[in-house]
Amino acid sequence: KNQVEQSPQSLIILEGKNCTLQCNYTVSPFSNLRWYKQDTGRGPVSLTIMTFSENTKSNGRYTATLDADTKQSSLHITASQLSDSASYICVVITDSGANNLFFGTGTRLTVIP
Amino acid sequence: NAGVTQTPKFRILKIGQSMTLQCTQDMNHNYMYWYRQDPGMGLKLIYYSVGAGITDKGEVPNGYNVSRSTTEDFPLRLELAAPSQTSVYFCASSDRGGPSTDTQYFGPGTRLTVL
């Protein structure tokens, strides 16, 4: 069964600290993996997209890694800011077609001063 | 560009009522989608469209209908609203390559409560 699991469900960190969010998937065949940021009351916004051959992708203070062999991805946030408080969603896509996106349930990150 | 816009932002319906959730994108994208997001759950695809005049069912289409008469608009119709349809609804769009290659852009969402 195609599944995407994220951990932890929620996380609270102090402003300025780093954190790492995890995504494990059983989706096959694999096309690409995306991380989205969803602010409260807003729609998700794309942070990174990684294909099978990419194992690291950065977007400012956000760095995503992918291990396609173990089917694991992580999102590392450096020097967290209050504005990083949001849900972070991992999405795994199998192949062409609009019905082949598998969404994780997200990690709720809260950054406190 | 305004991107993807949705109306209304909030709505409360009584059981059995019907309504249309509006979605418009100004990026000339071919693909458009409707998702629902329930608390603690991942987004679920309701319906999608690969271009004007073409629609197809997603994972959870029961109780909903869509149409795509223009590239810009993709309304979602709820007939005979039920409490199980209480959710946050997101519209999204992506360019001609589809979600496998192109980024999806999401609207701000519509929070629907059915009582």
Q: Which of B44, B98, B105 sits opposite A98 (nearest CB)?
A: B98
Q: Residue-wise over B74-103: b if at least 16 C-beta within 10 A, else e?
A: bbbebeebeeebbbbbbbbbbbeebbbebb
Q: Which of A32, A44, A105 sits opposite B40 (nearest CB)?
A: A105
Give the chain A residue whose CA is nearest to the CA of B59: A99
**Running DSSP on this structure, what letter comes out for residue B52?**
T
**Mutation for A interface: B9, B37, B44, most A CBs within 10 A:** B37
Residue A79 tokens read as 């020097």
Q: For tokens 């998700």, what's the residue? A: A44
Q: Phi and psi of B44, rounded to 5°?
A: -115, 135
Mark yes or no for CB contact A98/B4 under 8 Å. Answer: no
* Mean pLDDT of the region B7-15: 96
| DSSP for B4-36, written as a single string | EEEE-SEEEE-TT--EEEEEEESS--SEEEEEE
Model confidence band, residue A98 (pLDDT cutoffs 50, 70, 90): low
Q: With a cut of 90, say whether residue B100 has pLDDT above it.
A: no
Residue B99, preceding peptide bond in cis (omega within 30° of 0): no
C-beta atoms of A103 and B108 within 8 A: no
Structure confidence by residue, pLDDT tens digits, B21-59 = 999 999 999 999 999 999 888 899 999 999 999 999 999
User: In 3-state terms, what secondary structure has residue A52?
Assistant: coil
B100 touches chain A (CB under 8 A): yes
Closest CA to A86 of A42, A33, A48: A42
What percent of chain A shows pLDDT beyond 70?
97
pLDDT level of residue A96 (50, 70, 90 thresholds): low
Q: Which of B41, B58, B107 shows the shortest C-beta gap to A43?
A: B107
Question: Are A42 and B104 an interchain contact pair (Cβ–Cβ within 8 Å)?
Answer: no
Inter-chain residue contact A98 with B40, CB threshold 8 Å: no
CA A8 to chain CA centroid, Å, is: 12
Question: What's the pLDDT tens digit per position in A44-75?
Answer: 999 998 988 889 999 999 999 999 999 999 99
**Residue B44 to residues A47, A75, B19, B60, B95, Cα–Cα distance (Å):** 20, 22, 20, 7, 20
Per this entry, what is the length of chain B?
A: 115
A82 C-beta neighbours (distance < 10 Å), count? 10
Reduced to 3 states, what is the DSSP secondary structure of residue B84?
Answer: helix
CB-CB neighbors (< 8 A) of A99 in chain B: 45, 48, 56, 58-59
